[in-house]
Structure 1
């Protein structure tokens, strides 16, 4: 069995928690709940968590798939250096963010999910994981070999090279010489 990368799970959990916190905050503000200021905080905290967690980190195996349009946010998150790449810091940050939202009903679910993400980030940090950005690969084009310049002459399926019919241009010395020469005026 492979090693579990806890940070990937924590990233998905925190992104979902940010969206839930944002939605709960919007409901709390629009519904004019008592102490709706905590719901307004939930909107701001949800947006912050979503912006922080949207760029997916690179896996250790290197098989990561980036989210659509994450490059801009990846550059922003990478700019903060160890503050955003260290999972101990993320765990503490998410734990601190989730406390004020627990005081109003619409944001409680988002805060519980964010607390769970904080615990998962702590587990990832204890196991030595850290956030690494997924940056675009610089492709190096290999030169086309001399043998590939001509397209294949036979349609697929092609027989192996040793069984293919040889073209007269490829043969330097013919093994069989025609004893009867054909002249142009015989046709």
Structure 2
């Protein structure tokens, strides 16, 4: 059985919690709830978490699929180096971001989800995982070898080259040679 990569779970959880925190903040500010300043903080924190978590990290196996349009944000997140690469930093950052949102009902759900993401990031950091960017591969296409000039003309299964029948067009001036010698008739 394979090793679980906890950072992938934490990334999805944190991105979803950022969206929930953003939505709750918008509701709190638009509704002018008591303590709407916490909701405004929720909007800012939700946007920050979404921007930080949108670029998906590369898996250890290398089977990662990047999100649509994540390249620009990947470059930005990569630019901060060890601060954004280290999951201990992300765990403590998310834990600190989720505290102020807990003072308002509209942002409580986003804060709880962000706290769970923080715990998952802490587990990923303890297991030694770190964020690695998914960058586009520079693909170098190899030229075909000299032995491959034209694709095969016959469908598979093909007999080996020495057992194939020669076409008359391929053989220049040669006549068909009967492999069974003909001897006189036996009456």
TM-score (norm 1): 0.87
d(CA) in 1 for partners of 2:24 and 2:14?
15
d(CA) in 1 for partners of 2:173 and 2:7?
66
Equivalences for 1:88-99 in 2 at 5 Å? Answer: 88-99=88-99
Question: Partner residue of 1:184?
Answer: none
Q: Higher mean Cα deviation, 45-54 or 162-171? A: 162-171
Question: Partner residue of 1:19?
Answer: 19
Equivalences for 1:12-91 in 2 at 5 Å? Answer: 12-91=12-91
Question: Partner residue of 2:137?
Answer: 137
d(CA) in 1 for partners of 2:100 and 2:18?
14
Shift in Å, 1:159 = 2.2
Question: Partner residue of 2:6?
Answer: 6
d(CA) in 1 for partners of 2:126 and 2:139?
35
Structure 2: 5+ residue runs without aligned partners?
A: 179-187
Q: Closer, same or farther in 2 for the Cα pair 1:153/1:55, shift >3 Å?
A: same
Structure 1: 5+ residue runs without aligned partners?
A: 179-187
Shift in Å, 1:146 = 2.3
Shift in Å, 1:164 = 3.6
What CA deviation, in whole Å up to 9, does each residue of 1:11-53 have, x standing for no partner? 0000000000000000101111101010010000000000000
d(CA) in 1 for partners of 2:59 and 2:124?
12
Aligned-pair Cα RMSD in Å: 2.1
d(CA) in 2 for partners of 1:144 and 1:101?
60
Question: Partner residue of 1:128?
Answer: 128
Q: Closer, same or farther in 2 for the Cα pair 1:31/1:169, shift >3 Å?
A: same
Equivalences for 1:99-118 in 2 at 5 Å? Answer: 99-118=99-118
Is the partner of 2:134 in helix, strand or coil? coil
Question: Partner residue of 1:160?
Answer: 159
d(CA) in 2 for partners of 1:63 and 1:122?
23
Shift in Å, 1:5 = 0.3
Give the count of matched residue pairs. Answer: 177
Shift in Å, 1:150 = 1.6
Is the partner of 1:138 in helix, strand or coil? coil
Shift in Å, 1:91 = 0.2
TM-score (norm 2): 0.87
